[in-house]
Amino acid sequence: MYPFRNDNVFLRNCWYVAAFNNELDAGPIERVILDEPVVLFRMADATPAAMFGICPHRYYPLGRGKVVGDSIQCGYHGFEFDGRSGSCVKIPSQNAVPGRFRQKIYPAVEHGPWIWIWPGEPELAHKDLLPPLAEIGVLQPDWRVDHVGLLPTAGRAQLLVENLLDLTHVAFLHGAFVDGAAFLQHPVEIVEQPLQLMAHRQMRSAWVAGFYDLLFGPQHRFQGSHLAETQTVFYSPGYIRTNSGVIHEIEGRDSVDRSVFGEVRFHHILTPETAQRTHYFSTMSRNYRLDDNGYSIAMGKLDYDVRMQDVVAVGEIEGNLQRFSMHGPELLARSDAASMRVRKRMQEMLDAERL
């Protein structure tokens, strides 16, 4: 299935965010992940549990039940399943419980403000494969985190992955919010590492009207040029971060005042719902104006509006892919280099999983 060679498009040996951690506070939730129904809940000690979400007795959704100790109780006939082992531990209408019934359990971990699950082979679920919080700037003393929300996206996850790795769309798709003309012809350096791929560009330019006014405030406008670096870092198909740019130098100044010219990071959390739909979790963090709630609200609004343009575009493209057969080859451009490297890498990982 486009853009991969086979219809098996889910990389299973990977951490995916299943929920914001506060979503579990009010009880169990159900969510479809990699085309499987999953019930998520907190056990008695608050540890998260993730279990196949359909009761094996009558196929009722376990997410409609309630938590009893470490177990989830089905809302139809009251059968209970343990969150650690998956075993059926109680059938209210009889005394003995046959030992052979066991629900599938997914490794689950709370890491940062998110609940992550591992849909692949449990023995490969190492926590050092999660994005390091210190590195990404989340739950650190000098970084503030704000959630924007969960954006249900009617398109396959890889469309969002490749959208994020090519920021030349900013000038057109997001042209109403952000002046992206600076990105258009600026060279991008791609740095590949075993677990990451970073596309970054350094640009020397003037104050970026509109965008910088929003970001830093018009009262901080400066004359002359500055050197800024933007980064897009692919950690896994489930987690990509971009940023607002880091200002390295301002012409005529000895140093950059970080309390004014800080960095906003956009955490793009992509969890396939089905082969053609995606849970797009949106989180921001920043290292300045930490106590400025109004600024969080303003940036959250901007972030939401921009991401929704991507969500809508990806939905349109998905509709075209599903409804119309393709005509001729894909027209690739220089700006697709990073996307194509990631696509190739993911194809290799998918192929490796199938062996």
Rg of the Cα atoms in the chain:
22
Contacting a second copy (CB under 8 A), which of 47, 85, 231, 335?
Answer: 335
Decide whether 74 or 299 has the Cβ nearer to a second copy.
74
Minimal distance in Å, beta carbon 217 to a second copy? 30
**320 sits near a second copy (criterion: CB under 8 A):** yes
- 81-120 footprint of a second copy as x/- string (CB under 8 A): -------x--xxxxx--x--x--x----------------
Minimal distance in Å, beta carbon 91 to a second copy? 5
**Contact at 8 Å (CB) between 37 and 30?**
yes
- 228-267 footprint of a second copy as x/- string (CB under 8 A): ----------------------------------------
**172 sits near a second copy (criterion: CB under 8 A):** yes
Contacting a second copy (CB under 8 A), which of 129, 150, 173, 214?
Answer: 173
Minimal distance in Å, beta carbon 65 to a second copy? 8
Instruction: Single out the segment in contact with a second copy by CB under 8 A; choices: 76-84, 108-116, 205-213, 277-285.
Output: 76-84
Instruction: Single out the segment in contact with a second copy by CB under 8 A; choices: 68-76, 285-293, 297-305, 342-350.
Output: 68-76
Other Cβ atoms less than 10 A from the Cβ of 197: the count is 19
Strand ranges inside the chain, DSSP E: 16-20, 29-33, 36-42, 48-52, 66-68, 71-73, 80-82, 88-90, 105-106, 108-111, 114-117, 144-153, 189-192, 197-206, 225-236, 239-243, 246-250, 264-274, 277-286
- 33-62 footprint of a second copy as x/- string (CB under 8 A): --xxx--------------x-xxxxxxxx-
Phi, psi for residue 127 in degrees, rounded to 5:
-70, -20
Helix (H) or strand (E) holding 162: helix 157-165
Helix (H) or strand (E) holding 292: none
Residue-by-residue DSSP string for 89-123: EE-TTSS---TT-B--EE-EEEETTEEEE--S-GG
* Exposure b/e, 23-33, CB count within 10 A at least 16 = b: ebeeebbbbeb
Minimal distance in Å, beta carbon 103 to a second copy? 8
Can you name the residues that pair with 236 across neighbouring β-strands? 239
**334 sits near a second copy (criterion: CB under 8 A):** yes
**141 sits near a second copy (criterion: CB under 8 A):** no
Single out the residue of 19, 287, 267, 10 nearest to residue 164, CA to CA.
Answer: 267
**187 sits near a second copy (criterion: CB under 8 A):** no
Decide whether 4 or 60 has the Cβ nearer to a second copy.
60
Q: Looking at beta carbons, which pairs linking 326-331 to residues 24 or more positions away fall under 8 Å?
A: 326/2, 330/3
Decide whether 240 or 250 has the Cβ nearer to a second copy.
240
Q: Which positions touch a second copy (CB under 8 A)?
A: 35-37, 52, 54-61, 64, 74-79, 88, 91-95, 98, 101, 104, 166, 168-169, 171-173, 183-185, 313, 316-317, 320-321, 323-324, 326-335
